[in-house]
Amino acid sequence: MLKKVDILMTGVGGQGVIMASDILTTAALATGYDVKKTDSLGMAQRGGSVTSHVRIGEKVFSPMIPPGGADFLVSYERLEAVRSLALLRPDGIAIVDSVAVTPLSVTIDGYHYPSIDEVRESLSAITQRAYVLPAMEMATKLGNPRASSVLCLGFLSVFLELPEQSWFDEIRRHLPSRLHDVNLAAFNAGVEAAQQSRKDEGE
Amino acid sequence: MKQLLSGNEAIARGAYHAGVQVASAYPGTPSTEILENMAGYEDVYAEWSTNEKVAMEVGLGAATGGVRALVSMKHVGLNVAADAFFGASNVGVRGGLVVVCADDPGMHSSQNEQDNRHYARFAKVPMLEPSNSQEAYSIMAPAFSLSEELDSPIMVRTTTRISHAKSVVDVNGDRPELGPPPPFIHSPSKYVMVPSYARPRHPLAEQRILRAAQLFEEFPFNEVIWGDRKLGIISAGVAYQYAREAFPQASFLKLVTTYPLPQQLIRSFAAEVETLLVVEELDPFMEEIIKSMGIAVEGKSMFPITGELNTHIVLQGAMKANLISGTQQGAAATTPTSKPLPPRPPLLCPGCPHRGAAYVLSRLRFGPKGSIPQAKVGGRKGKEWHIATSDIGCYTLMVYSPLFAIDSCVCMGASITLAHGLEKAGVAEKTVSVLGDSTFMHTGIPGLVNMVYNRSHSTVIILDNQTTAMTGHQGHPASGRSAKNEQAPKVDMAELARGIGVKDVNVISAFNLKEIEETIRRCTANDEPSVIVVQGPCPLYERISGTAFRVNEERCNGCKLCLDIGCPAITFDGDKAYIVPPMCVGESCSLCVQVCARKAIEKESD
Ligand SMILES: Cc1ncc(C[n+]2csc(CCOP(=O)(O)OP(=O)(O)O)c2C)c(N)n1
């Protein structure tokens, strides 16, 4: 039996954060665990920050992950990873797409957008288990940049004890059939990237 | 069958299985998906009503006819529907009538965080509050039975974390067989509220609250969970989930019936525990009633009255009150970077038809004075500024940088009327009011009628994107589309304005800056009320895409004029503008092309 697992997913409106967390949550449900999820999207369709809390366990009460409580942080954009870091538990696992989506506050109001090194530094203050990968770039090479959301799920899946089949079933159920192939390929690419990272760590 | 459902989906499913035949609503986060789900059932009549008052009356009409009806809205919607809600409480029902109100503590997408539980008490309407999706599903059938038994509407109150959070539901009911409605019963003493018939209804309402309190003593979804009896907690809704997680050892009285409260149940629970707490979001609603019963209880002395609660906040409150000791683990409270993180607020999308009018207004010096550098508004010092009263919708986002185009957003419909009030107060600045098509239909029309009747000189700008965009693209009476996504009769807003008596009515394109500017200049210069309908489709709803524009780097001199339209697709790459290809919608918009003084933004093929 899987112990309690809290996963925070974050990104920018339109990146598919909510769909990815729906896939994760239903994949977990299929295994008989109790699950809850809640999204903070404010008016997110309009390009704002989006976060989704997913909680899996024998019995889940609050749908929200407490600060410092997330076992995993999956972020589809690097600034949003830093913004949500306070929710990650010390030495939790962070999976971060290195892609930058520059907000207007940077272009117009002169805010500083964190460099990739600054992002790594912020992550390392909380955890030594941060994986920063070019997920969007990888998904683009596979044929669809938007498949990065499923690619990161593949990466995450290596750390969770959910049966592979329920991932595949839910990806198919949540996406139109013309997108199945590219997303299944993206999932597998995520799995491989995670296995490679773990191997590298082992060495 | 176990399914993962949001609270809103569960409410709709529960209502469907309870035999609801009519569902009416006006969209509003976090309640919108209830009607969207009801509209998916073929054998339910479901409509987007013009506003919440209309929705409430439609539901009451159906219930009066003997069928079960569901009305749903966000918390502030009940302000609009309050007259009808009190009316429904007064006359009672025949078929069950359940009113779902979704509150928004924390104001995720609302203008306030009023606590609608007060409405239940105020209107003498029994209230139920689910604490997860399972309860949201399961209490619907009992809610309708109670409504019929008590001859009263029933209020079901949710909050954002109930309506939008997903959890596991055992969907164990089914839709009953339903015949045609029973014959109408003419009953003036019940439905015609002249004073002589209304007087006897008041004692009936008082009696039904007493009766409900009795029934609620045995209500199957109220639950006592015994743990350590040193600490007993009374809670409801999602606050119960936070409290359960924060105090795993304590005893709990979880209430689903939160008005009227089951007083015997509370007394016997209180008698068994040493310290009694109420954990509830927003106002001390249960706490005050329990205190008035003479029971010692704490609540708001520990937990905040504003904003959402969560497990962390509940624990912190308890620690501060020395109720529990120890330090809380986790909580890396600060963001571990030295520089402030760039905010990412919601924005007008690339291709949004509201952007052109917003840009023109800010260039014509409408909006808060001083927000925009003088140089950008062609401003010699001392030039006059003007006032733009706005309303609620996507266009409210034009309050942000770099547009800064509006001065107010109070409640739906309050754009036209505030402008009129300003003018009648003798305020010297010119005024325009700005509102969306759905908002104009909702409560804008009476304001326009008032303007004409009372001889206003102001200008009303209706931003017509043919949908209710902010809440997720629902139909409305001027959209030509029904809740079931079928074609529907379409109100012609320009004709409507003419019918009201406005002589200066203009219908213009949302993507022609020159035309927008000329029209606003002319309308605000003349001495009569005027209406400008600015038409352009919502690119999200219509899924508009096109070949992206591109910056000619030789011509671009880095002047940043193009940034003034606040388009998220335009960024700066070094000292030249750069248009992010997948974000730009291309020719259907072209505002950036129109503002670029050096003709540096061009089509891909140029
Ligand atoms: C009384 C009330 N009901 C519902 C809402 C939720 N709400 C916010 S904006 C909006 C309508 C927006 O539609 P429209 O005016 O057409 O503007 P758009 O978002 O399409 O630009 C609604 C329904 C509210 N704030 N107040």
CB-CB neighbors (< 8 A) of A38 in chain B: 161, 164-166
DSSP line for B88-103: HHHH--SS-EEEEEEE
Residue A2 confidence (pLDDT): 61
CB-CB neighbors (< 8 A) of B109 in chain A: 42-43
Q: How confident is the model at residue B377 (pLDDT cuts 50, 70, 90)?
A: low
Cβ(B309)–Cβ(B281) below 8 Å: yes
Q: Give the pLDDT mean for B456-466.
A: 97
B2 in contact with chain A, both atoms CB, cutoff 8 A: yes
Residue B27 CA: nearest ligand 1 atom is 23
Residue B346 confidence (pLDDT): 82
B160 is written with which tokens? 């954002």
A97: Cβ contacts below 8 Å, ≥ 6 apart: A11, A75, A76, A77, A78, A133, A134, A135, A136, A148, A152
B-contacting residues in A 39-58 (Cβ below 8 Å): 39-49
The pLDDT tens digits for B273-316 are 999 999 999 999 999 999 999 999 999 999 999 999 999 999 99
Residue B332 confidence (pLDDT): 45
Distance CA B10, CA A65 (A): 23
Which domains, ranges and CATH numbers included, belong to chain A? Answer: 4-202 (3.40.920.10)
CB-CB neighbors (< 8 A) of A166 in chain B: none
Distance CA B94, CA B67 (A): 7
Residue B606 confidence (pLDDT): 53
Does pLDDT of B367 surpass 90?
A: yes
Does pLDDT of B338 surpass 70?
A: no
CB-CB neighbors (< 8 A) of B2 in chain A: 29
Enter the ipTM.
0.94
Distance CA B255, CA A66 (A): 24
Contact at CB, A111 and B343, closer than 8 angstroms? yes
Cβ(B222)–Cβ(B254) below 8 Å: yes
H or E element that contains B123: helix B117-123
Output the CA B24–ligand 1 centroid distance in Å. Answer: 16
Listed in sequence order, the DSSP H helices in B217-307 are: 237-246, 263-272, 285-292
Distances (CA, A) of B290 to A107, B266, B284, B287, B298: 54, 8, 10, 5, 10
Does pLDDT of B329 surpass 60?
A: no
Does pLDDT of B335 surpass 60?
A: no
Classify residue B440 by its DSSP letter. I
Residue B334 confidence (pLDDT): 46
Cβ(B66)–Cβ(B187) below 8 Å: no
The pLDDT mean for chain A works out to 93
Q: How confident is the model at residue B372 (pLDDT cuts 50, 70, 90)?
A: confident
CB atoms within 10 A of CB B187: 12
How do A130-133 and A88-97 pair as beta strands?
parallel
Share above pLDDT 70 across residues of chain B, in percent, rounded to a whole number: 96
Cβ(B61)–Cβ(B23) below 8 Å: no
Residue B573 confidence (pLDDT): 82
Distances (CA, A) of B274 to B229, B232, B251, B301: 6, 7, 10, 18
Cβ(B125)–Cβ(B257) below 8 Å: no
Which domains, ranges and CATH numbers included, belong to chain B? Answer: 2-216 (3.40.50.970), 223-333 (3.40.50.920), 355-542 (3.40.50.970), 549-603 (3.30.70.20)
Residue B380 confidence (pLDDT): 47
The pLDDT mean for chain B works out to 94
Listed in sequence order, the DSSP H helices in B217-341 are: 237-246, 263-272, 285-292, 311-320
Classify residue B474 by its DSSP letter. B
Higher model confidence: residue B506 or residue B371? B506
Q: Give the pLDDT mean for B366-389.
A: 76
Does pLDDT of B232 surpass 50?
A: yes
Listed in sequence order, the DSSP H helices in B326-469 are: 355-363, 414-424, 437-439, 445-453
A128: Cβ contacts below 8 Å, ≥ 6 apart: A91
B340 in contact with chain A, both atoms CB, cutoff 8 A: yes
The pLDDT tens digits for B162-204 are 999 999 999 999 999 999 999 999 999 999 999 999 999 999 9
B62 is written with which tokens? 């159906």
Residue B553 confidence (pLDDT): 94
H or E element that contains B551: strand B550-551
Q: Please tell me which of the candidates B164, B312, B563 has its beta carbon nearest to residue A66.
A: B312
Q: Give the pLDDT mean for B254-280.
A: 98
CB-CB neighbors (< 8 A) of A68 in chain B: 329-332
Task: Give the residues of chain A that fall short of pLDDT 70.
Answer: 1-2, 42-46, 203
Nearest 5°: the CA angle A65, A67, A68 is 105
CB atoms within 10 A of CB B441: 23
Higher model confidence: residue B503 or residue B327? B503
The pLDDT tens digits for B77-105 are 999 999 999 999 999 999 999 999 999 99
Classify residue A96 by its DSSP letter. E
DSSP line for A46-78: GS-EEEEEEEEESS---SSPPTT-EEEEEESSH
Closest C-alpha residue for ligand 1 atom 22? B28
Residue A45 confidence (pLDDT): 63
The pLDDT tens digits for B52-61 are 999 999 999 9
Does pLDDT of B328 surpass 60?
A: no
Output the CA B78–ligand 1 centroid distance in Å. Answer: 14
Does pLDDT of B327 surpass 70?
A: no
Residue B329's identity, in one-letter code, is Q
Chain B nearest-CA residue for A55: B167
Classify residue A140 by its DSSP letter. H
A174 is written with which tokens? 């949540």
B559 in contact with chain A, both atoms CB, cutoff 8 A: no
The number of C-alpha atoms within 13 Å of A111 and in the hemisphere containing its C-beta is 16
Residue B322 confidence (pLDDT): 87
Contact at CB, B167 and A63, closer than 8 angstroms? yes
Residue A203 confidence (pLDDT): 61
Cβ(A65)–Cβ(A6) below 8 Å: yes
Closest C-alpha residue for ligand 1 atom 6? B28
Does pLDDT of B208 surpass 70?
A: yes
Residue B574 confidence (pLDDT): 86
Does pLDDT of B564 surpass 90?
A: yes
Residue B605 confidence (pLDDT): 66
B490: Cβ contacts below 8 Å, ≥ 6 apart: B477, B478, B479, B480
Closest C-alpha residue for ligand 1 atom 12? B393
Residue B432 confidence (pLDDT): 97
H or E element that contains B11: helix B7-17
Interface test with A, best of B110, B337, B392, B540 (most A CBs within 10 A): B337
Sheet holding B223-225, edge to edge: B223-225, B250-255, B228-236, B275-279
Round the CA-based radius of gyration of chain A to a whole number and report it. 16
Q: Please tell me which of the candidates A34, A82, A89 has its beta carbon nearest to residue B335.
A: A82
Contact at CB, B238 and A13, closer than 8 angstroms? no
Nearest to B349 by CA among B362, B337, B336, B358: B358
Output the CA A198–ligand 1 centroid distance in Å. Answer: 49
Angle between the N-to-C axes of helices B7-17 and B32-39, in degrees from 0 to 180, rounded to the nearest 10: 40
Does pLDDT of B381 surpass 90?
A: no
